[in-house]
Amino acid sequence: MVESTNETVNISSNNQVNLPIKALVEIALARGEGELAANQALVVKTGTRTGRSPKDRFIVRDEITDTQVDWNTINQPISPERMDTLWQKALRYLESKEAYFTSYLKVGAHETLGVPVKVMTELAWHHLFAHVLFIRPEHPAVTNEVHQWTILSTPGYKTDPASDGVNSDAAVILDFSKRRILICGTYYAGEMKKAMFSVLNFILPQHDILPMHCAANAGKESDTALFFGLSGTGKTTLSADPERFLIGDDEHGWGEEGIFNFEGGCYAKCIDLSQEREPLIWNAIRYGSVIENVVLNPDTKVPDYTNASLTQNTRAAYPREFISQRIENNRGKPPHSVLFLTCDLYGVLPPVARLTPEQAAYYFLSGYTALVGSTEAGQGSGIKPTFSTCFGAPFFPRPPSVYADLLMKRLHHSGAQVYLVNTGWTGGAHGEGGQRFSIPTTRAVVTAIVNGKLKEVEYEKIPGFNLDIPKEVPGVESTLLNPRKTWSHQDAYDASTRTLISQFIENFKRFTVSDVIKNAGPTLN
């Protein structure tokens, strides 16, 4: 029995079903899985894996996936027999525990395409994480539903590469035929979230829905904006706008009728989190939230968000309800504005550029940014450039052209304007005299986009990237708008530009697309 001042939680039963937040927090504390911070959030550590383990991720190769999955080093195949054996081992391990946890949740705020998911976890804090991040039905089912998926999370069960046919002592395996996900050997809870994201990314294109790695918010006139980007580019920060209403911070679907959030919570990066710059996120981190790998002051228990001694990828998971300014039904109208957030460490991209539909397809497929405090285990704390297809290559099982074609279709149908927004460096490259754009500057750019101001200004074209850039943006110094003019040595800018353009061209060689999309990219002439 775990005693509390207000409630008694019984954990004598082996399987604890549909426990509320309070019970899960108390059990996690009683079992030593974490501690409360001064703001009352549950603080946990994930051990050696402080991010996802892409080398340990597999998809069962069978008649459903054989010709539909883009098999590569990200989408690694594993046999149904291997999965069956591992599943039974992990399930026996879980059921041998004194207590484990089960909840019936949902992913996808769509009336007909939402996916019910049964979550089974070894740890109470992992269950709290799932409870926070997934959608919580008003009346959760306690029996298996048609089309229900099952997540089995057993971080304490380690795999054996030699006998289990995997790559290490951890594995993340997606099985589309039996609608199940096995996650074992890793304490990083984000694997659950991203595994279900990958599931919807495979399923939804069959229903003419574009799944997206993006945040979304809406204004008072229901004008929806989408924010694409990898971790560290500003999706969560910029979508949590005090002047607008949050739909979601990371995963959405876009169909003919509008967009919908996949999740019921948010998963914000915490490194250098500031109450002044990010008040909505700061205030959302409270009792019922989970903080991963954030160091606490030993005396005051106040989180030190500047401390990256455990990882740059510090995180906070909190329910959407903790954001007061949100769209209640978790859905939105077709977007007016689409923002591709890129963190350019070369300092040669403009703070904002207007894209044609063909350029949008090019930059969507390219997915250029910098890895800043990577979400992947083993990447370290350095910063380096990357090209991640669809701004989220690790999560999209189908061939890239499937998602690019759907993007073009949705843009054509909605008439949404796409902008490339650089949240990275200006005036020089990272580590070579450049400065990163401030959050207030980027917020001013975003405000001008979502308010329609950038549709009213004059544009000019910058060579090389062949991008249209505004000559003025309300609230932004005009000297920042043309990247070449921010460098003290133009020859150095030209050299860095050639370097990045060459990388774009080389990366894009792997795509088979129409000439009109291929020619929409940057050129060296």
Q: What is the pLDDT of residues 471-487, one digit of tens each?
A: 999 999 999 999 999 99
pLDDT band of 11, cuts 50, 70, 90: very low
3: pLDDT strictly greater than 50: no
Q: Which of 110, 180, 213, 336 is catalytic?
A: 213
- Segment (H or E) for 236: helix 235-239
The pLDDT of residue 371 is above 80: no
Check residue 6 and give its pLDDT.
36
pLDDT computed for residue 144 by the predictor:
61
Give yes or no for a contact between 404 and 363, defined as CB atoms under 8 angstroms apart.
no
pLDDT at residue 13, as a whole number: 67
Higher local confidence (pLDDT), 202 or 382: 202
Whether 315 is catalytic: yes
CATH architecture of 2-33+52-207: 3-Layer(aba) Sandwich (3.40)
* Active-site residue, selected from the candidate residues 56, 250, 344, 468: 250
Q: Which of 49, 50, 52, 127 is catalytic?
A: 52
pLDDT of residue 8: 37
pLDDT in tens, 61-102: 999 999 999 999 999 999 999 999 999 999 999 999 999 999
Write down the pLDDT at residue 139. 76
Token code pair at residue 205: 């294109």
Helix (H, G, I), strand (E, B) or coil at 444: helix
pLDDT tens by residue, 302-324: 999 999 999 999 999 999 999 99
- Give catalytic status of residue 158 as yes or no: no
| Residue of 121, 224, 236, 497 with catalytic role | 236
Residue 70 annotated in active site: no
State the average pLDDT for the chain: 93
Selected catalytic residue, list 127, 179, 235, 398: 235
pLDDT digits (tens, 9 = 90+) for 236-254: 899 999 999 999 999 999 9
Residue 9: pLDDT over 70: no
The reply to whether 231 belongs to the active site is yes
CATH topology for the 210-262+329-518 domain: Phosphoenolpyruvate Carboxykinase; domain 3 (3.90.228)
List, as one string, the DSSP characters of 17-64: ES--HHHHHHHHHHTTS-EE-TTSPEEE--TT--SB-GGGEEEE-STT
- Predicted confidence at residue 260, as pLDDT, reads 98
- Reply yes or no on whether 430 is catalytic: no
pLDDT at 348 over 70: yes
What does the alpha-carbon distance between residue 103 and residue 109 come to, in Å, rounded to a whole number?
Answer: 18
Q: Is the pLDDT of residue 147 over 90?
A: no
Q: 213 catalytic, yes or no?
A: yes
Separation in Å, CA 238 to CA 103, 278, 346: 32, 9, 22
Catalytic residue among 121, 154, 231, 233: 231
What's the pLDDT band for 441 if we cut at 50, 70, 90? very high
Say whether pLDDT at 219 is over 50. yes
- The sign of the torsion formed by the CA atoms of 319, 111, 103, 194 equals negative
455 among known catalytic residues: no
Residues of the chain with CATH 3.40.449.10: 2-33+52-207
CA 337, 338, 344: angle at the middle one, nearest 5? 130
**Set 82, 315, 326, 331: catalytic member:** 315
- Which residue in 179, 194, 269, 398 is the catalytic one? 194
Q: What burial letters (b/e) apply to 176-188, b meaning 16+ CB within 10 Å? A: beebbbbbbbbbb
The CA–CA distances, whole Å, from 182 to 103, 176, 327, 356, 522 equal: 16, 12, 33, 41, 42
- Tell me what pLDDT residue 17 has: 93
- The percent of residues above 90 in pLDDT, for the chain, comes to 88
153 a catalytic residue: no
Q: Where in the chain is the domain with CATH 3.90.228.20?
A: 210-262+329-518
Q: pTM for the full model?
A: 0.92
